Structure 1
Amino acid sequence: MNSYPHSRTVDQADDFFGENVSDPYRWLEDDVRDSAEVAAWVTAQNVLSSTYLSSLDFRQDIEGHLRRLWNYEKFSLPVKRGNRYFYSRNDGLQNQFVLYVQDGDDVPRKLIDPNEWSDDGATALAFYKASPDGRLLAYMVQDGGSDWHTIKIIDVDTGEVHSDTIEWVKFSGVSWAKDGSGFYYSRYPKPDPGAEFQSLNLNQAVYFHRLGDEAENDRLVYARPHQPSHGFSAEVSSDGSALVITVWMGTDDRYEVVLIDLGRESAPPVQLVTGFNHNYSYIGSTDGRHFFFTDENAPKGRVVSVSDYLNGGKHSWFDVIAEQVGVLAGVSIVGGRIFANYMEDVKSVVRVYSIAGEDDGVVDLPGVGTATGFAGQPEDQETFFSFESFNQPPSLYRYDISKDNYEVFKESAAPFDPADYIVRQVFYPSKDGTCIPMFIAHHKNLEWSSGAPTLLYGYGGFNISLTPGFSVTRLAWMEMGGVLAIANIRGGGEYGKDWHNAGRLLNKRNSFDDFIAAGEYLIAQGITTNRQLAIQGGSNGGLLVGAVVNQRPELFAAALPAVGVMDMLRFNQFTAGRFWVDDYGDPANEADFQNLRAYSPYHNIRSGADYPAILVTTADTDDRVVPGHSFKYAAALQAADIGDAPHLIRIETRAGHGAGKPTDKIIEEYADMWAFLCAHTGLDPYNR
Structure 2
Amino acid sequence: MEYPEVRRDESVVEDHFGIEIKDPYRWLEDPDSEETKKFVEEQNKITFKYINEYENREKLMDKLLEKYNYERFGCTFKRGKGENEYYYFFHNTGLQAQSVLFRQKTLDSEPVVFFDPNTLSDDGTVALSYISFSDSGKYFAYSLSKSGSDWVKIYITQIEDGKLVEIDKPLDWVKFSGITWTKDEKGIFYQRYPKPNISENKSAGTETDQNSNAMTNQNLLNLLMNLRLHNVGSTFFFKTSKDSPQYKIVKININDSEKKFIDVIPQNKHVIDTVLFCNNNSFVINYLYDAQLFYSVTSFINPGTVYRCDLRNNSCKEIKRNVVKNYNPDDFVVKQKFYPSKDGTNIPMFIVHKKYVVANIRGGGEYGETWYESGKLDNKQNVFDDFQWAAKYLINLKYTSPEKLCINGGSNGGLLVGACINQAPELFGCAVADVGVMDMLRFHKFTIGHAWISDYGDPDKEHDFKTVLNVPLHSLKLISQLQYVAGKSSKKPLLIRIDTKAGHGGGKPVKKRIEEATDKISFINKNINAEWCD
- Per the normalisation by structure 1, the TM-score is 0.69
1:142 and 2:145 aligned: yes
Of 394, 411, 418 in structure 2, the residue corresponding to residue 539 of structure 1 is 411
2:371 alignment counterpart: 499
Indicate conservation of the 8 Å contact 1:189/1:203, yes or no: no
User: Percent same amino acid among aligned pairs?
Assistant: 39
For residues 122 and 17 of structure 1, the distance between their equivalents in structure 2, rounded to whole angstroms, comes to 44
Tell me the CA shift for residue 181 of structure 1: 3.0
Tell me the CA shift for residue 309 of structure 1: 5.9
1:580 alignment counterpart: 452
Of 359, 380, 386 in structure 1, the residue corresponding to residue 296 of structure 2 is 386
Tell me the CA shift for residue 593 of structure 1: 1.2
Secondary structure at 1:62 match in 2: helix
For residues 95 and 410 of structure 1, the distance between their equivalents in structure 2, rounded to whole angstroms, comes to 21
For residues 65 and 676 of structure 1, the distance between their equivalents in structure 2, rounded to whole angstroms, comes to 16
Indicate conservation of the 8 Å contact 2:252/2:261, yes or no: no
Secondary structure at 2:241 match in 1: strand
Indicate conservation of the 8 Å contact 2:246/2:271, yes or no: no
For residues 351 and 496 of structure 2, the distance between their equivalents in structure 1, rounded to whole angstroms, comes to 28
Tell me the CA shift for residue 79 of structure 1: 2.0
Letter in 2 for 1:202: N
For residues 543 and 112 of structure 1, the distance between their equivalents in structure 2, rounded to whole angstroms, comes to 36
1:419 alignment counterpart: 330
2:512 alignment counterpart: 665
For residues 291 and 236 of structure 1, the distance between their equivalents in structure 2, rounded to whole angstroms, comes to 13
Tell me the CA shift for residue 164 of structure 1: 3.0
For residues 237 and 124 of structure 1, the distance between their equivalents in structure 2, rounded to whole angstroms, comes to 22
Deviations, residues 127-182 of structure 1 (Å, cap 9, x unaligned): 11122222221111111111111111344324233153111111211112334333
Shift of the 48–237 alpha-carbon distance from structure 1 to 2, 3 Å rule, reads closer
Gaps of 5+ in 1: 206-223, 243-259, 262-266, 273-281, 283-289, 295-300, 323-331, 337-375, 444-482, 603-628
Secondary structure at 2:530 match in 1: coil
Secondary structure at 1:575 match in 2: coil
1:352 alignment counterpart: none
Deviations, residues 16-67 of structure 1 (Å, cap 9, x unaligned): 1111111111111112xx2111001101111111111011121111111011
Of 441, 445, 448 in structure 1, the residue corresponding to residue 352 of structure 2 is 441
1:6 alignment counterpart: 5
Of 144, 152, 155 in structure 1, the residue corresponding to residue 155 of structure 2 is 152
Of 100, 103, 119 in structure 2, the residue corresponding to residue 101 of structure 1 is 103
2:211 alignment counterpart: 202
Indicate conservation of the 8 Å contact 2:54/2:522, yes or no: yes
Deviations, residues 180-235 of structure 1 (Å, cap 9, x unaligned): 33322222211112462112243566xxxxxxxxxxxxxxxxxx9xx477772255
Indicate conservation of the 8 Å contact 1:185/1:234, yes or no: no
Higher helix share: 2
Secondary structure at 1:392 match in 2: coil
Of 363, 367, 387 in structure 2, the residue corresponding to residue 515 of structure 1 is 387
2:472 alignment counterpart: 601
For residues 677 and 198 of structure 1, the distance between their equivalents in structure 2, rounded to whole angstroms, comes to 31
For residues 19 and 389 of structure 1, the distance between their equivalents in structure 2, rounded to whole angstroms, comes to 47
Letter in 1 for 2:205: F
For residues 235 and 205 of structure 2, the distance between their equivalents in structure 1, rounded to whole angstroms, comes to 33
Indicate conservation of the 8 Å contact 2:13/2:22, yes or no: yes
For residues 377 and 71 of structure 1, the distance between their equivalents in structure 2, rounded to whole angstroms, comes to 43
CA-based RMSD: 2.7
For residues 307 and 563 of structure 1, the distance between their equivalents in structure 2, rounded to whole angstroms, comes to 40
2:318 alignment counterpart: 408
For residues 55 and 310 of structure 2, the distance between their equivalents in structure 1, rounded to whole angstroms, comes to 51
Secondary structure at 2:94 match in 1: coil
Deviations, residues 633-656 of structure 1 (Å, cap 9, x unaligned): 111111112512101000112100
1:292 alignment counterpart: 241
Shift of the 102–179 alpha-carbon distance from structure 1 to 2, 3 Å rule, reads farther
Higher strand share: 1
Of 177-186 and 497-506, more deviation after overlay is shown by 177-186
For residues 321 and 558 of structure 1, the distance between their equivalents in structure 2, rounded to whole angstroms, comes to 54
1:366 alignment counterpart: none
For residues 59 and 197 of structure 1, the distance between their equivalents in structure 2, rounded to whole angstroms, comes to 33
Gaps of 5+ in 2: 275-285
Of 183-192 and 14-23, more deviation after overlay is shown by 183-192
Tell me the CA shift for residue 320 of structure 1: 5.5
Indicate conservation of the 8 Å contact 1:436/1:489, yes or no: yes
2:277 alignment counterpart: none
Secondary structure at 2:469 match in 1: helix
Shift of the 555–143 alpha-carbon distance from structure 1 to 2, 3 Å rule, reads same
For residues 131 and 231 of structure 1, the distance between their equivalents in structure 2, rounded to whole angstroms, comes to 22
Shift of the 601–65 alpha-carbon distance from structure 1 to 2, 3 Å rule, reads same
Secondary structure at 2:306 match in 1: strand
